[in-house]
């Protein structure tokens, strides 16, 4: 797997929810509530189901496989022109394993789900130590949701 760059096209930096998560199993549920509230406020309810699954999978993976003692995991939910970007930042340089992207194994289905639900996703290095796993979802044509500023 090659490590990509974090794209910045279409972002409205005024529309972001950035949260940090310690080592608490309730963080995924709390992150869901924060994202759901943001999507409602941004008029992006059409992507809510996919967005919540993607967030859950990326945050769970970070907590299980990329937690660095003494460092929080950060989620960033960013409204984009025509959709949403979900980012999960962690302090580990270990890349996600993509060897089980077929979704048939006992594990590895999380990234398979992300791959199926997102328009695009990738992993890239952070400016500081660690990485960002991100995914973008576009609003469906004709959904009526407003995603512009």
Contacts of 61 (CB under 8 A, 6+ apart): 88, 96, 110, 111, 133
Indicate whether 49 pLDDT > 90.
yes
Q: What is the dihedral of CA 134, 122, 102, 44, to 10 degrees?
A: 40
More confident residue, 92 or 23: 92
pTM, 2 dp? 0.82
Q: Tell me, what's the pLDDT at 23?
A: 79
Query: In the predicted model, what is the mean pLDDT of the chain?
Result: 82
Q: Tell me, what's the pLDDT at 71?
A: 80
Token representation of residue 116: 């199926």
Contacts of 45 (CB under 8 A, 6+ apart): 39, 145
Indicate whether 134 pLDDT > 90.
yes
The Cα-based distances of 19 to 31, 76, 83, 96, 125 in angstroms read: 8, 7, 20, 21, 19
Q: Tell me, what's the pLDDT at 48?
A: 96
Indicate whether 1 pLDDT > 50.
no
Indicate whether 103 pLDDT > 80.
no
Indicate whether 147 pLDDT > 80.
no
């Amino acid at each position: 797997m090659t490590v990509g760059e974090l794209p910045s096209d279409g972002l409205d930096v005024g529309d972001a929810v950035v949260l940090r998560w310690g080592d608490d199993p309730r963080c995924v549920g709390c992150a869901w509530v924060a994202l759901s509230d943001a999507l409602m406020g941004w008029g992006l309810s059409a992507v809510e189901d996919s967005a919540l699954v993607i967030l859950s999978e990326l945050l769970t993976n970070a907590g299980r496989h990329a937690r660095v003692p003494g460092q929080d995991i950060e989620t960033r939910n960013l409204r984009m022109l025509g959709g949403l970007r979900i980012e999960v930042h962690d302090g580990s340089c270990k890349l996600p394993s993509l060897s089980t992207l077929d979704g048939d194994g006992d594990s590895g289905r999380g990234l398979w789900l992300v791959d199926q639900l997102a328009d695009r996703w990738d992993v890239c290095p952070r400016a500081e130590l660690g990485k960002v796993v991100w995914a973008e979802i576009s609003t469906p044509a004709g959904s009526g949701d407003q995603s512009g500023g």
